[in-house]
Amino acid sequence: MMGQWLSERLGQQFVIENRSGASTNLGTEAVVRAPPDGYTLLMIDVSAAVNVTLYDKLSFNFIRDIAPVANVVRVPNVIAVHPSFPAKTVPEFIAHAKANPGKISMATAGNGSTSHIFGELFKMMAGVNLVAVPYRGGGPALIDMLSGQVDVIFVPTAASIEYVRAGRLRALAVTSTTRIDALPDLPPVADFVPGYEASSWYGIGAPRNTPAEIIDRLNKEINAGLAEPKIKARFADIGGTALPGSPADFAKVIAEDTEKWGKVIRTAHIKPE
């Protein structure tokens, strides 16, 4: 979708190249090494901020080597349990977890994934002991969640919303600080765990030393796209919120989440698989 915006607005055809592996580090490394001419861009997500602390040795320094262009969207997760689980609200879940320490399993998409670190932050702030069960990706974790093999999951709204609506998952709360239009009946976790917030975000970056005029033009066109009603509606369908702003605004988001999730990773002693 982002590639189509840029193609239409800049009169250039962008090719989407998926470079999976190493928790987005391979794709980032490719962009770090690319010419700073505005023709190679990076779709960044919150894992970039996580990886700074999660990985001891990287071939790049993300904050130094990637120039923020524009933030695009913020998307929360939901805390979901299997319909057979006894808790129907966050307070009931916390009470049940405290009464059964170390007995409630928490499915994750792998060590250091958002489903993992969001859950670890909840554990710290709510004072509960959940047992993280890492899977090789969000798909397998969700499958076992749906079959009742695990108890709770912090799952992206885009991946879970249809299961919640169909009653195959019981959502307890959203991890954003406010309710979302896609699931308006769900309260935010912060209503019960003051100060809790954990959301994924996506944005665009470029190799360092990309000329400021190129970054500014890309930023302008991306923000224009984010203002379009059809884009806002598309994001709202999956619980997302458009995040127009300057490159400096995006740099601040990256820096703040690098510090926030770094503390969680160090405190929980999370290591990559």
Could you report the per-residue pLDDT of 253-272, keeping only the tens digit for each?
A: 999 999 999 999 999 999 98
Predicted confidence at residue 101, as pLDDT, reads 96
Predicted confidence at residue 29, as pLDDT, reads 92
**Average pLDDT over the chain, rounded to whole?**
92
Domain architecture of the chain: domains with CATH? 2-74+199-268 (3.40.190.150), 75-191 (3.40.190.10)
Is 188:173 a contact under the CB 8 Å cutoff?
Answer: yes
Greater confidence (104 vs 22) lies with 104
Question: How confident is the model over 41-51, as pLDDT tens digits?
Answer: 999 999 999 99
Phi-psi region of 85 (alpha: psi -120 to 50; beta: other; left: phi over 0): beta
Predicted confidence at residue 162, as pLDDT, reads 94
Reduced 3-state DSSP string for 245-256: CCHHHHHHHHHH
pTM score of the predicted model: 0.92
Q: How far apart are the first and last CA of the chain?
A: 31
2 pLDDT more than 60 = no
Per-residue pLDDT averaged across 148-152, rounded?
A: 97
Question: How confident is the model over 171-202, as pLDDT tens digits?
Answer: 999 999 999 999 999 999 999 999 999 999 99
Predicted confidence at residue 273, as pLDDT, reads 77
pLDDT band at 122 (very low <50, low <70, confident <90, very high): very high
DSSP code of residue 183 = B
Q: How many CB atoms lie within 10 A of CB 217?
A: 15
Q: What percent of the chain has pLDDT over 90?
A: 83
Predicted confidence at residue 10, as pLDDT, reads 57
168 pLDDT more than 90 = yes
pLDDT band at 24 (very low <50, low <70, confident <90, very high): confident
Per-residue pLDDT averaged across 218-233, rounded?
A: 91
